[in-house]
Amino acid sequence: MFAPDVIREAAAGGTAGSAVRRRLITIVTIAAVTAYLAVWIVAITQIPPNGHGPSGSGPGDTQQYIRAANRLAADQPLYGHGGSTGPFYAIGDYLSPPLLAVMFRAVLLIPGNSAYVWWAVAILFEASALLALVMRVPLIASLAIAVLGLSIAMAMWQGNVDCLVLPGMLLTWYWLRERRDSKAAMLLGLLVSLKLTPLVFVWWLIVTGRWRAAALALATSVVLAIVAMVGSEPLIFYYFAGVTTANVTDPSSAFGSSGFAYAVGLPAFVVTWLPRLILLGGFAAIWIGRRRPGVAWAIGASMMWLASPVASIHTPALLLVGLAPLAWPMHDVEHPASSDTGSEAGSQLRAKRAEVVG
C-alpha cells in the first residue's frame, strides 16, 4: 500500500548528466540489498521449529494472529494462551493489540491458505518501504539495512505486523511533509491500533504544533478501539494492558530494553522500570528537538524499539522509520508547520508565501 507517488518521486530529480550513473548505482544497490536479505531469510529457514519460530507450520507470527482470530470466533479469551511465565518465553502467544486479531477474522475468510496470503502482503509492504528508502538515500539506507538485516528478514519471514508499520510510518511522514495532515493523522491512528508504539508520534505531532492532527489521530484510535471491543469483548483492553505490563516484568525476549536488562543481570526494578524511563527520556528529547522535526522524528523511531514493552528480534527494523526525514526532507523548517488541519500558523505561512509569489 506504499503510495505510488512516493515511489515515483524516489526515482525523479537530478541533472541529465548524472542520471544514468545514479540509476545504475540504484539498480546495483537494490540488487545487493535483495541478495543480502535473501541470504538472511534462507539462514532463518534453517532454524529448528520451536513452537514460536518461523519453521514448521508456516510464518510464526502469522500463525499466532490466526490462532488469536480463531479464539475470538470460538468466544474464547484472546490473551494468556501458550508459552510460560519464565524469562524469554512468551507470556502468551498473542501480545498485539486486539484490533489485529479482529481484522484477522476477515483474513480467515480468504479462500485457500489465508496465512500465506497475509504473509505475501506483509512481505510486499516491507519490500516497498525498503525499495523507497534505497531509491531516495541509497548509501544510508543500504548501510542501515546491512546493520538491521537479521531483524528485517525475521519480520518478513514471520509475517509480523511490523511489515505494515514500517511503510505506514514512512507514508505518515511523507503526508506530513506534503501538508496532508488529516490523512497522516488517520493513518497514524490506525497504526497505533495495530501496534502500540507508534503512539509516541502523537506526542511528536503535539510538540511540532500539529494539535488538530494529534487530536484526529487519537480520535481515530478511539473509534478503532471501539471496533476492537465490539469484535471481541468490552474488557479486552484491560486484558491487553495486563499481558503488556506482565511482559515488561517478565520479558519474552532479550531484544528489548527490559529483556536486555534481565539478560545482563540487572536488578528486577531496573528490568521493570527501564522501558518507562526510556519512554520519559524520549518524550523529553522529542520536546527539546521540536524545532528540528526530523531529529525529533528519528528519536521517536528509536523509542518504538527501546521503549517498547514487547520487543523481539524483528523490532529493531523499525529504526528504519527514522530515515524518513532524510529520504523526504520537510519542505519547510518553520515551527509549527501545519496544513490541512487548519492551524493559524500554517495559514499565516501560506499567506506570506502568496504575498511573495504575487
Write out pLDDT tens, residues 119-141.
889 999 999 999 999 989 988 99
Q: Give the pLDDT mean for 252-276.
A: 80
Query: Does residue 350 sit within a domain?
Result: no
Q: Is the pLDDT of residue 18 over 80?
A: no
In a domain, 349, yes or no: no
114 vs 275, residue with greater confidence:
275
Quick one: 62 exposed, middle or buried, by C-beta within 10 A (0-12, 13-18, 19+)? buried
Read off the pLDDT band of 157 (50, 70, 90).
confident
Highest-confidence segment of 175-184, 239-248, 346-355 = 175-184
Residue 90 lies in a domain: yes
Residue 358 lies in a domain: no
Residues 215-239: what's their mean pLDDT?
Answer: 95
The answer to whether residue 353 sits within a structural domain is no
Q: 268 to each of 3, 95, 201, 216, how far by Cα in Å?
A: 45, 22, 29, 38
- Is residue 288 assigned to a domain? yes
pLDDT at res. 246: 79
pLDDT of 325 reads 97
pLDDT score recorded for residue 274: 87
| Alpha carbon 241 to chain centroid, angstroms | 19
Cα–Cα distance, 118 to 218 (Å, whole number): 27
280-337 pLDDT, tens digit each: 999 999 999 999 999 999 999 999 999 988 888 899 999 999 999 999 998 764 444 4
The pairs formed by 337-340 with CB atoms below 8 angstroms and a separation of 24 or more are 337/179, 337/208, 337/209, 337/210, 337/293, 338/179, 338/181, 338/209, 338/210, 338/212, 338/213, 339/178, 339/179, 339/180, 339/181, 340/179, 340/180, 340/181, 340/182
Q: 184 falls in which pLDDT band (50, 70, 90)? A: very high
Mean pLDDT of 345-357: 46
Decide if pLDDT at 58 tops 70: no
Question: 166 falls in which pLDDT band (50, 70, 90)?
Answer: very high
What is the pLDDT, as a whole number, of residue 258? 79
- Is residue 214 very low, low, confident or very high in pLDDT (cuts 50, 70, 90)? very high
Give how many domains the chain has, as a whole number. Answer: 1
Q: Is residue 352 part of a domain?
A: no
Peptide bond into 329 cis (omega under 30): no
Q: Is the pLDDT of residue 276 over 50?
A: yes
Q: Closest by alpha carbon to 198, among 107, 302, 316?
A: 302
Q: What percent of the chain has pLDDT over 70?
A: 77
Tell me the range of 47-61, 229-243, 291-305 where mean pLDDT is highest: 291-305
Bigger pLDDT: 263 vs 313: 313
Q: Answer yes or no: is pLDDT of 176 > 90.
A: yes
Q: How far, in Å, CA of 82 to CA of 352, rounded?
A: 60
Share of the chain above pLDDT 90, in %: 45
- Domain hosting residue 299, numbered range: 4-344
All three cell numbers of 201, joined, read 508520534
Domain assignment of residue 336, yes or no = yes
pTM of the model: 0.81
Q: What is the pLDDT of residue 6?
A: 46
Q: Look at residue 261 in the predicted model and tell me its pLDDT.
A: 80
